[in-house]
Structure 1
């Protein structure tokens, strides 16, 4: 371990700037907890996390649009999603991308230093090898260990002071049926079939969408409650009442996993795809038993084995929660 990898400890101030996407935000929150466990003073510049600051004791949460230059002036180190890259040359700002840095970005021309020591590899991609089978959580932990020199054996805080779960939480399931990318979305009819099968086994099924979708999807899922939340706290508090999250490849699955829930991720990708929820061991990836190309599109939705989800969950029919 080089000298630069032993510098983060008590009293060192580190600011993290995640991109707005919920899945990416959960990864930066994981990194924040790793830094906090090392004794660093950590702040997170995130508009979405501002609403759950009470569940994040010990972390400073800064709402609004991130001021990367100002954070660099006030902190020893800043680790920033490449989405917020600024033109200024800042020697204590490291940029992270999911899978690739912009072609025009030249890491070797922008060295990152902490207390005069260069941090090799500070500018990086989180996923360095998409074929390795590691989840993004494992990749962010490797960045913490290999680049920042953090000890992964140290326990991390996690969400704190959460609401008490409801008495029926064990039999409640939340389905996230959409993502910002239509190509990732399983079909409405498929989610309805799944919801009916789970309800027939005694599960209490509810859907979660973004506010702009609520009216339209309330009609699509007329037999079920369809929730939309104005902020992250509303979503977190709702998921606290559930034990299972079913989603496409989306932030809802990552948040559920972060909160310790059992998650099922429906995707056309392989079962060990990088962006699967990975904060606990209770995730199952459900992919098609076959797929094929037709008129330039991949046909996969009819071949999702929903029975795998239904059979993996207990039958509550006639049982007490």
Structure 2
């Protein structure tokens, strides 16, 4: 999406570069909590959401690797996650976008479904890992302001109908964990 925006700005406004001018207040430190993984297990529609139990399984694996996953959900989504509080990582909600942005800015990583929070994290300079149900959607809408990886259903799932119905089950926790390792290696090689 970032590349599409840059192309549009070049074609229509003659701009050669497009920069994000989000500046955090001085009291915040970028990636202060480098081991914190902001996990957004929700999306604008339920059909974009990977399985809750898989997000919880992923958070357990990340914890064993020394990371501190925390789930972030809107107040309206909390009721779905409170029954899982005993097995899920800490659950965060924010009153406003400024509070959410500050928390994301100080996080080390972001993992989530196809949603706007991945774009916000990416615009704030946080590396993202996004679980998508379709390749074409991922190519168009993946966060692109910062380093990011995507996870898609396996290519071998036959027919669009089966992919649409079974994509959640076809993406394992292990695959997402591997993609997160690839993302970390990419970020480390650049820094």
TM-score clears 0.5 = yes
Counterparts in 2 of 1:301-316, with a 5 A limit? 301-304=168-171, 305-312=175-182
Listed one character per residue, the Cα deviations across residues 69-90 of structure 1 (whole Å, up to 9, x for unaligned) are xxxxxxxxxxxxxxxxxxxxxx
Aligned mate of 1:274, from 140, 143, 149? 140
Higher helix share: 2
Residue 155 of structure 1: how far off its partner (Å): 5.7
Aligned 8 A contact 2:75 2:94 in 1:
yes
SS of the equivalent of 1:218 reads helix
CA distance in 2, matches of 1:313, 1:206: 18
Instruction: For residues 255-300 of structure 1, give each alpha carbon's deviation from its aligned partner in whole angstroms, at most 9, with x where no partner exists.
Output: 11001011000012228510000112x1001112243456895211
Equivalence for 1:291: 157
1:180 alignment counterpart: 44
CA distance in 2, matches of 1:261, 1:217: 25
Residue by residue over 1:156-188, the C-alpha shift from the partner in whole angstroms, topping out at 9 and shown as x without a partner, is 533243533388611110100011211110000
Kindly indicate whether the alpha-carbon contact (under 8 Å) linking 1:292 and 1:299 is maintained by their aligned counterparts in 2: no
Larger radius of gyration between Structure 1 and Structure 2: 1
How many Å separate the matches in 2 of 1:168 and 1:149?
37
* Residue 230 of structure 1, CA deviation: 1.5
**Distance in structure 2 (CA, Å) of the matches to 1:168 and 1:160:** 13
In structure 2, relative to structure 1, the CA distance for the partners of 1:160 and 1:181 (3 Å cut) is same
Tell me the distance in 2 between the aligned counterparts of 1:199 and 1:279.
27
Aligned structure 1 segments of 4 or more residues deviating by more than 6 angstroms = none
Structure 1 position 242 matched with structure 2 position 82: no
> Within 5 Å, which residues of 2 pair with 1:71-110?
none
Q: Aligned to 2:67, which of 197, 200, 203?
A: 203
Give the unaligned 5+ runs of structure 2.
185-191
Q: Distance in 1 between matches of 2:20 and 2:183?
A: 29
> What number of residue pairs does the alignment pair up?
177
> Normalised by the size of structure 1, how large is the TM-score?
0.50
In structure 2, the CA distance between the partners of 1:167 and 1:285, relative to structure 1 (3 Å rule), is: closer
Kindly provide the CA deviation profile for residues 110-148 of structure 1, in whole angstroms up to 9, marking residues without a partner as x. xxxxxxxxxxxxxxxxxxxxxxxxxx1111111111112
In structure 2, the partner of 1:137 is: 2
